[in-house]
Structure 1
Amino acid sequence: MSARKPFPLAWRGSPATFARRAAWMLVLAVSLLAPAHATPSYQQTKQSHHPSDKQVTARDGTPIGSVRVDTTARRGAWLTLDQFSPALIDTVIAAEDARFFEHGGVDWKAVGAGAKQTLSGSRRGASTLTMQLVGLMDEDLKARPGGRSVLQKAEQARQALVLERRWTKGQILEAYLNKVPMPGEILGIPMASQLMFGKAPHGLNRQEAAILTALIRAPNASEKLVAQRACRIVHGAAATPAQCAPLEGQTQIALAQAVQKGALPGARSPLAAHLARRAGKAQVWQTTVDARLQALARDSLRRHVAELSTRNVEDGAVLVLDNATGEVLVWVGSSGALSDAAQLDFVTARRQAGSTLKPFVYAQALTEKKLTAASLIDDAPLAVPTQSGIYAPQNYDRGYAGPVSVRTALASSLNIPAVKAAMMVTPEALFRQLQALGFALRESGDYFGPGLALGAAEVSLFELTNAYRTLANQGMASEPRFALKPATPPAAPRRALSSDVSWIVADMLADREARARTFGLTSPLATRGWAAVKTGTSKDMRDNWCIGFSDRYTVGVWVGNASGAPMWNVSGVSGAAPVWAEVMRALHAGRPSQAPALPATLVKQAVDFGGVEPAREEVFLAGTERSTVALAQRIVSARITAPAAGTIVALDPDIPPAQQRVQLVAEVPPGERVRWLVNDRPLAQGARTSWLPPPGKYRIALVDAQGKALDTVAIEVRGAWMPAVQTARPAAARGGGRPSAAAPSSAALR
C-alpha cells in the first residue's frame, strides 16, 4: 500500500500559509454548522428600518416639516438601490469589496491576504460588504474598541455565507448603503448625503461619492485624512496635491455640515415647522393645513415684514381657521430668516392684546343690556383712580371725538368709550366672559382693572383668532384642531355668547362707514366681500394685530418683535392688516364672502341721534330698541378734563419733544370763552391746547373771560429737560399740528 498523502490543510509550511489555512478551516467549520434561520430576511430588515426624522404633511400629503423621533441616531428613509447614484455604488464597491459580485459572502483570497498582512504588521481586514452588513445587523457582532475577537469574526463570516444564500446581491448592497455608519450619530448614506451635501443620494457626483466612501472606513477620521482617501479614490494612488486641494475644501465644508444639530439642509425652510413640531408631539403625521394657502400666507408675511424692516419690525405670525370645522388651514409661526428668534412660535406666544379685546367688552355690555349699538358714549378725557395712580386712557391720535355711538366707537377703535363700557360691566365680569371664550388669562379682572378693555392682558394669536371664530359662529365656541390623520373628532361646541349679541358685534366690526372715522374707506380692512375685522396695537407699538372673519374663515395676523422692542410708527392697520387682507383675498378668490342674514329675534329700528350722528337704521336686542338716543349727561359748567389732578408726567429724553406735549382739555358750555393759566401765567385760549413743560410742580387753572377761576388741577413733571422748546405756545399758533400727551397713556392703540 502506498503511503498516505498528508491532509491538504495540515499545519505545515510557512507562518503565512499556516495563518491562511487556519482561517480557511475556521470559516469552513462554522459555515457548515450555520443554521439558515439565524439571519433575518431582507423584508424584515427593511421593515425594521425607521427614519429618525418623521415627516409631518399637509392635508394633500405635501411635507410641512419633520420631527426627530429617535434621539439615538440620525437615519433617513430606506432607499432602494436605484435611488443611489452609479458614482456612489462604483466607489463603494471599488474601495470596500472589489470582488463583491464574485464571492459568496466571504472573499477567500482576501482572507488569506488579510492573514498574511496581519502577521506582517499591516492591518488591512478582509471583511466583505456582506460581512460588514452582518456586523451592522447583529448587536453581538458590531465592532468594538480593539476589534472583533476570532470567534466574532468566525460568526460574522458564518452569517455572511448564510445571508448570501438568502438575499440577492442587490438587496445586500442596498441594505449596506442604508445602514452603514457615517460621522457622529449619522447612520446610512441617505442621511449623510442630505446633511453633508443637501441632496438625495441619487444626485451625488463622483467627488461627493468619494468623500462618503472615504468615511466608511473611518467615520470619525480627521478632515485631512478623509480628503486624502477621497482624493485617492477619485484620482488614484498617484494623485497630486493640486488635484487633492479642491476635495480638501469640499470635505471640510461637508463634515462641518454633518455635525450640525438642526434640520436637514433639504428642509431648512419647512412649510410649517412650528406646527410640525406641535403635531409630532401629538403623534399626528397628517395635518389639516392647506399647503397652497400656507405657502401664500408665509410668503405674504415675510414680504411685508421685510418691507417694514426699516421701521424696526422683524417678526410675525399668521393663523387661519375654518369657521365651521375649526380646522387649522394656515399656521405660520414666525417670519423665518427675518427673525432673530425663528424657532419661537408666535402663534402660541403671549403678547399684549391691544384693542383686539374691545369687541368682547361691548359684547358683555350688550349682554347685560347696559348698552346698545346705538347708545351714545362721550369720547372725552377720562381719569380713573386706581391703586397704582391715575389711569388716563387716550385715543390713538391723541384727540377726542366727543359723543359717538357704540357702533362708531367699536368700528373706529376709540379707547375711552371702550374703557367706559368696561366700567359699566366691571372688569371681573369681562374677565369671566374672556375665560368662557377660551382665553387663559393669568390674572383676574381686578388685577387689570379698566386697562383690560384696552388689551393690558397677554393673549396668544391662537386664542384671539379662535375667539373671533366664536363670533363668526354665532357665539358657539370650540377648540381648533389640526389632526387629519390620525383623525380626531371635532370638539363639542359650547355656548360662550348669545347668537344675537354675536351677530350685532360682527355687524359693527364689518361696518365700513362706522370704521371710516379712523381708518377711512380705502384701508386694507375694506375687503371685496363681507368681513368683520379689528386691529390692535399694544403699548409703545410693541405688538400689532389684525383679526377678522368672513362667512367661512377666520384669519389672525400678529406683527412685532420677539425682543419686545417697539416698532417705529407701525399700527395694526399698517403692520398686520395688509397681510390679513392678502390672505383673506386668497381665501375668497373664487367666491366673495356673504353677510349673515339678520336673525328673526333681532329688531331693526330707525334711530334719530339728535344731530350727533346721521339718522340710520340700527339693530337691537328685543326690548332694548328706541327711536331716539342722546347723552344722559350735559355740560352745565366748564371744567378741566385733562390732565387729571395729581398727574405725574415723566419726560423721556429719547422721545421727540413733539410726542411728549401735555394736552390741556376742558369741557366748556357752548358760547363760553375760556383761557388757560399755568402757575398764574397765561398759556393759551380755547377749550384745548398742548404744552411741553420743564420739570417742576404746576397749578393749571381754567378761567373765564373776566379771569375768574372755573377749575384748577395740580400736576408734577419729572424727567430730563429738553431745551429749545417753546413751552407756552398754543396749538393753534403752531399751525394745527397733532397734539399729544406725555403720560399716563393707554395700554392699547387702534
Structure 2
Amino acid sequence: MPRLRSIRPLLLVIALAGTLARSAWALASFDEVRRDFHPSDTRVLDRDGALLQRMRTDASARRGQWVALADISPALRTAMVLSEDKRFYEHSGVDWRAVSAAAWGNLWATRTRGASTITMQLAGLLDDDLRRGSGGRNLAQKLGQTMAAQRLELNWRKDQILEAYLNIVPFRGEIVGIDALSRTLFGKAPHGLDVREAAVAAALVRAPNASAARVAQRACEVMRAMEAPQKTDCEALDMFASAALQRRDFDASEGIAPHLARHVLREVARNQEAAALTPALSQRESEQAGIRTTLRAPLQRFALGTLQRHLRELRGRHVEDGALVVLDNASGEVLAWVGSSGALSRAAEVDGVLAQRQPGSTLKPLLYAQAIAERRLTAASLLDDSSAQINTAGGLYIPQNYDHQFKGYVSVRTALAASLNVPAVRTLVMVSPEAFARQLRAAGLALPQSGDYYGYSLALGSAEVSLLGLTNAYRTLANGGRYGETRFLPVSPPPPRSSSASGRGSERRALDERASFIIGDILSDGNARARTFGFDSVLGTRFWTAVKTGTSKDMRDNWAVGWSQRYTVGVWVGNASGAPMWDVSGTSGAAPVWAEVMGFLHRDLPSRAPAPPAGLVQTHVRFGNELEAARSEWFVAGTQQALFTLPPAASAADSAARITAPSDGTIIALDPDIPPEHQRVRFEAEGRGLRWRMDGRPFARGASAQWLPWPGRHVVELLDADGQVADRVRLEVRGAGVVKSTKR
C-alpha cells in the first residue's frame, strides 16, 4: 500500500502530461496567432488608410500593433536572444544543455539562468493550461511546455517564433508586446531602438516588476554581452533605466480627429450588425488596420491647423474654441471633422460639430427660400428695413439690425446678402414661425420645440442647431433642395445614384429647386453683400461659392457656412462655455477660416456656378425712386415683373419725416453712479433716408439712434432723404458728467 500511494502522484502527473500533450498538439498556427492578436487601441483611418486617430479601447492590457520581425531593431533581436535563449537558433525547442546545467545547479543549490527557451516561453503564452502561475509551473505543466515547444519548432519557422514572442510577451505592468513597450518607455517605434534601449527591454522580460536598479544591473550584463565590456557605462545606464521606467509616452489617444474617432466608435458599437458597416469591421478583423472612414487626412490636418492658427490671432478677443466640418455635396460624406481647437481650449472634450448652439443669421437663406417657393416674395421684392414693433403673445417684439441702423426699403437680394434682420422678421411674419419650423425640420434641423415657442426671433436664429446639421442643410441648398443624410463610414457597394425626378438614392425633396438656385445666386453675389460687408470682403473667393455668416445674441457664436460646386463647409467660432466674444464680427471670426479651407479644397479644382433648373426666368428689373440699380434678376416662372416701386404708404411717410421720440423740451437727469451704457437716450423717427444731427454735427443714420447724454442744452435735428431738416427737438440734460461705475 505505501508503494501504491507513492506511485499515484506519478500516475497523475503522467495523465496530466498526456492531456497537456494533446493541448500542445492543437497549438495554433503562426497565421492564426497573428490574426487573433488584438491591440488595446483602435485606429481610426481616413479613406485611404492614413491614420487619423488612435483610441484606447481595451483597459485590461496595453498592446500596440503587431510588428513584423523585419520592423524590429536588430539590437533588440540580439539582446533578447542573448538574454533569454543564447542557443535559440541551434536547438529544436528545448535547450537540453541548459536543462542539464539547471538540473546540476539545483542539485548543488547553485544559481543558474534556467532552461526555459524562447520557444518554451511562447508555448506558455499561447496556451492557458501552460501559463505560469504565481507559484511557478508544476511538473506536469513543464512537461507539457516541453512537448508544445517541440511541436512549435516542427510547424513554425524560427523567425515566426521570435516575431510572435516579441509581440505577445509581457514586459512591465500592463505593457504587453514590443510595440507598446517601445512607445511607452522610449517614445519611438520598435525599429528605432538602440543598444541601450534594447538591453533595458530584454532585462524587463526576465524581471518585469523589478526595481530600476535591478533592471539597470541586468541591462548592463546584456550590453556587455552585445559589445566590448569597456564600452559599457553601467552608471549612466542606471540613470537611463530609472528615467525610462517612469516615462509614459504612449498616450491613450493621439491624432488629429479625436471627436470624430469617439463618434465612430460609438456608432460602430451601436451598429455591429448593420450591413453598411460590415466592410469596415471585416477589414479591421482581417487586417487589424483599424476602422476606415470617409475623411481625408490632408484636409483634416489643414483644417485643424487653420482653425488653431486663426484662433491664436483672436486670442485677445476672448475666443478660444472653434469647430469645422466639410461635406461632399454629392455623397454626403464627411471629409473633415474638427470638433475643437484642442490645446487652445479649456473644454477640448466638447465636440463643437455636434454641440447645439444658436445659429444667428445663418437660418435666413432657408427662410427666404421658403418665401420664394411659396411665391410670397421674389428676389427683387422690396422689404421695409425700418423700426418695427411686432405684437406677440409675450408682448412687443422689436428686432434690430447688427449695426443698429436701418436701410429703408431694400430688395430681398440685398436684405439676404447684407444680412438685414428686420426684413427677415417681416418675411417670417408672412411665412409664420410654425411653417418655418416645419421647413427647417425638412432640411434636417430637428428643432426640439414648436415654431410658436420660438416666435419671430426664429428668423434670427433663436433655435439651437448643431454645426453638422446646419452644414448639411446648406448642402441641401447646394443640391437643389434635395436632402440626404451625412455619413462618415464608407459603404460598399456605393449607394445607388439616379438622375430621375424621384431623386438620388435615399435623398428626398426638402426645398424647392428653383428657390434653392435663387438663394445660391444671392449668396454668391458680392455686389449684393457690399452694403454690409464691403466689396473687399473675405467672403469673396476667386471661384464660385455661396456663403452666409451669422452671429448669435451677445456675440456668443459666430458662423460661416457655404458651398461650392462640389463641397459644403461649415465653421463655428466661440467659447464652449457660452461666454461672449469681444469685437468678433461675421467676417473676422469664422469667415477667414471658411475662406482658407475653401481655397485649399479648390487649389487645383474649379468651381462653376450651377445651371438654372427648369421653371426659372431671368428678367431685367428697375426700381422706383432709384432705390437700387437696375439689374437682371431670376424669378420663379409666373412671378416676374419689370418694375418694383414703393407702396403708397411708404411714399407718404417720406414726405412726412418726423421725430416721434423724445418730445420737444424733454429734460434728462443723469445719475453719476449708473454706468453710461445704461443711460443712453434713444431717438425714434418716421420716414426714409433719415439722418440725425446733434448740435449741428451728424451722429447717426436711420429711423432710430442712440446717444450718450451730456449735461447742457442740445438741439436734435432730423434730415430727410434730400438732406433737408424735416424736424427738430430741444433737450436739456441735467446732472454731473457720467462716469464709469466701479461697482460690481
Q: Specify the TM-score bucket, using the shorter chain as the normaliser.
A: 0.7 to 0.9
1:173 to 159, 162, 182: 162
Partner of 1:520: 534
Q: How far apart, CA to CA, are the structure 1 residues paired with 2:196 and 2:15? A: 39
Is 1:391 aligned to residue 406 of structure 2?
A: no
Partner of 1:76: 64
Output aligned runs, 1:481-496, within 5 Å: 481-484=487-490, 486-487=492-493, 489=495, 491-496=505-510
SS at 1:557's partner residue? strand
Partner deviation per Cα, 1:525-565 (whole Å, 9 max, x = no partner): 11112211101111222211111112222111112222222
Partner of 2:150: 161
Structure 1 residue 216, shift from structure 2 partner: 1.6
Partner of 2:707: 691
Larger deviation, residues 336-345 vs 432-441:
336-345
Q: How far apart, CA to CA, are the structure 1 residues paired with 2:119 and 2:512? A: 72
In the superposition, relative to structure 1, how do residues 655 and 460 fare at CA in structure 2: closer, same or farther (>3 Å)? farther
In the superposition, relative to structure 1, how do residues 467 and 685 fare at CA in structure 2: closer, same or farther (>3 Å)? closer
Q: How far apart, CA to CA, are the structure 2 residues paired with 1:554 and 1:111? A: 70
Q: How far apart, CA to CA, are the structure 2 residues paired with 1:241 and 1:286? A: 46
Amino acid of the residue matched to residue 93 of structure 1?
V
Partner of 1:17: none
Runs of 5+ consecutive residues of structure 1 not aligned to the other structure:
1-21, 644-650, 677-682, 695-700, 712-720, 727-750
Asked if 2 retains the 8 angstrom alpha-carbon contact of 1:378 and 1:631, the reply is no
Q: How far apart, CA to CA, are the structure 2 residues paired with 1:685 and 1:292? A: 48
Structure 1 residue 304, shift from structure 2 partner: 1.4
Asked if 2 retains the 8 angstrom alpha-carbon contact of 1:382 and 1:642, the reply is no
Give the share of equivalent positions with the same residue, in percent: 53
SS at 1:298's partner residue? helix
Asked if 2 retains the 8 angstrom alpha-carbon contact of 1:547 and 1:556, the reply is yes
In the superposition, relative to structure 1, how do residues 598 and 130 fare at CA in structure 2: closer, same or farther (>3 Å)? closer
Partner of 1:667: 686
Runs of 5+ consecutive residues of structure 2 not aligned to the other structure:
1-8, 269-276, 281-290, 497-504, 663-669, 711-715, 720-726, 730-735
Partner of 1:557: 571
1:48 to 28, 33, 36: 36
Output aligned runs, 1:121-200, within 5 Å: 125-200=114-189
In the superposition, relative to structure 1, how do residues 360 and 105 fare at CA in structure 2: closer, same or farther (>3 Å)? same
Structure 1 residue 521, shift from structure 2 partner: 1.1
SS at 2:587's partner residue? helix
Is 1:316 aligned to residue 322 of structure 2?
A: yes
Asked if 1 retains the 8 angstrom alpha-carbon contact of 2:323 and 2:352, the reply is yes
Q: How far apart, CA to CA, are the structure 2 residues paired with 1:317 and 1:686? A: 36
Q: How far apart, CA to CA, are the structure 2 residues paired with 1:56 and 1:69? A: 12
Partner of 1:246: 239
1:257 to 233, 249, 258: 249
Amino acid of the residue matched to residue 379 of structure 2?
A
Is 1:572 aligned to residue 586 of structure 2?
A: yes
In the superposition, relative to structure 1, how do residues 656 and 482 fare at CA in structure 2: closer, same or farther (>3 Å)? farther
Partner deviation per Cα, 1:681-712 (whole Å, 9 max, x = no partner): xx999965423479xxxxxx9999xxxx999x
Q: How far apart, CA to CA, are the structure 2 residues paired with 1:114 and 1:330? A: 61
Partner of 1:303: 309
2:46 to 58, 62, 81: 58
Partner of 2:513: 499
Structure 1 residue 629, shift from structure 2 partner: 2.4
Partner deviation per Cα, 1:660-690 (whole Å, 9 max, x = no partner): 84532221589999999xxxxxx99996542
Asked if 1 retains the 8 angstrom alpha-carbon contact of 2:64 and 2:180, the reply is yes
Asked if 1 retains the 8 angstrom alpha-carbon contact of 2:405 and 2:704, the reply is no
Amino acid of the residue matched to residue 39 of structure 2?
P
Asked if 1 retains the 8 angstrom alpha-carbon contact of 2:616 and 2:635, the reply is yes
Asked if 2 retains the 8 angstrom alpha-carbon contact of 1:333 and 1:346, the reply is yes
In the superposition, relative to structure 1, how do residues 576 and 656 fare at CA in structure 2: closer, same or farther (>3 Å)? farther
Is 1:377 aligned to residue 378 of structure 2?
A: no
Partner deviation per Cα, 1:21-68 (whole Å, 9 max, x = no partner): x99xx9999699945733222222222223333433222222222344
In the superposition, relative to structure 1, how do residues 403 and 123 fare at CA in structure 2: closer, same or farther (>3 Å)? farther
Amino acid of the residue matched to residue 130 of structure 2?
L
Amino acid of the residue matched to residue 186 of structure 2?
F
Q: How far apart, CA to CA, are the structure 2 residues paired with 1:618 and 1:79? A: 64
Is 1:110 aligned to residue 90 of structure 2?
A: no
SS at 1:544's partner residue? strand
Kindly report the root-mean-square deviation, in angstroms, between the aligned alpha carbons of the 2 structures.
Answer: 3.8
1:205 to 194, 216, 235: 194
Q: How far apart, CA to CA, are the structure 2 residues paired with 1:212 and 1:659? A: 70
SS at 1:483's partner residue? coil
Q: How far apart, CA to CA, are the structure 1 residues paired with 2:691 and 2:493? A: 71
Q: How far apart, CA to CA, are the structure 2 residues paired with 1:685 and 1:625? A: 33
Amino acid of the residue matched to residue 61 of structure 1?
G
Output aligned runs, 1:442-461, within 5 Å: 442-461=448-467
Q: How far apart, CA to CA, are the structure 2 residues paired with 1:226 and 1:384? A: 80
Q: How far apart, CA to CA, are the structure 2 residues paired with 1:222 and 1:132? A: 23
Partner of 1:432: 438
In the superposition, relative to structure 1, how do residues 587 and 93 fare at CA in structure 2: closer, same or farther (>3 Å)? same
Asked if 1 retains the 8 angstrom alpha-carbon contact of 2:326 and 2:336, the reply is yes
Partner deviation per Cα, 1:198-246 (whole Å, 9 max, x = no partner): 3221111122222222222233444454344434433689987732443
Structure 1 residue 186, shift from structure 2 partner: 2.8
Partner deviation per Cα, 1:488-528 (whole Å, 9 max, x = no partner): 52651100011111111111111111100011111111111
Amino acid of the residue matched to residue 219 of structure 2?
A
Structure 1 residue 434, shift from structure 2 partner: 0.2
1:88 to 64, 67, 76: 76
Q: How far apart, CA to CA, are the structure 2 residues paired with 1:686 and 1:470? A: 36
Q: How far apart, CA to CA, are the structure 2 residues paired with 1:588 and 1:42? A: 48
SS at 1:619's partner residue? strand
SS at 2:562's partner residue? strand
Partner of 2:641: 626
SS at 2:635's partner residue? strand
Partner of 1:730: none
Q: How far apart, CA to CA, are the structure 1 residues paired with 2:15 and 2:100? A: 13
Partner of 1:462: 468
Larger deviation, residues 446-455 vs 605-614:
605-614
Q: How far apart, CA to CA, are the structure 2 residues paired with 1:642 and 1:109? A: 108
Structure 1 residue 250, shift from structure 2 partner: 2.9
In the superposition, relative to structure 1, how do residues 192 and 641 fare at CA in structure 2: closer, same or farther (>3 Å)? farther
In the superposition, relative to structure 1, how do residues 132 and 608 fare at CA in structure 2: closer, same or farther (>3 Å)? same
1:328 to 330, 334, 345: 334
Larger deviation, residues 115-124 vs 525-534:
115-124
In the superposition, relative to structure 1, how do residues 235 and 365 fare at CA in structure 2: closer, same or farther (>3 Å)? same
In the superposition, relative to structure 1, how do residues 654 and 435 fare at CA in structure 2: closer, same or farther (>3 Å)? farther
Asked if 2 retains the 8 angstrom alpha-carbon contact of 1:374 and 1:629, the reply is yes
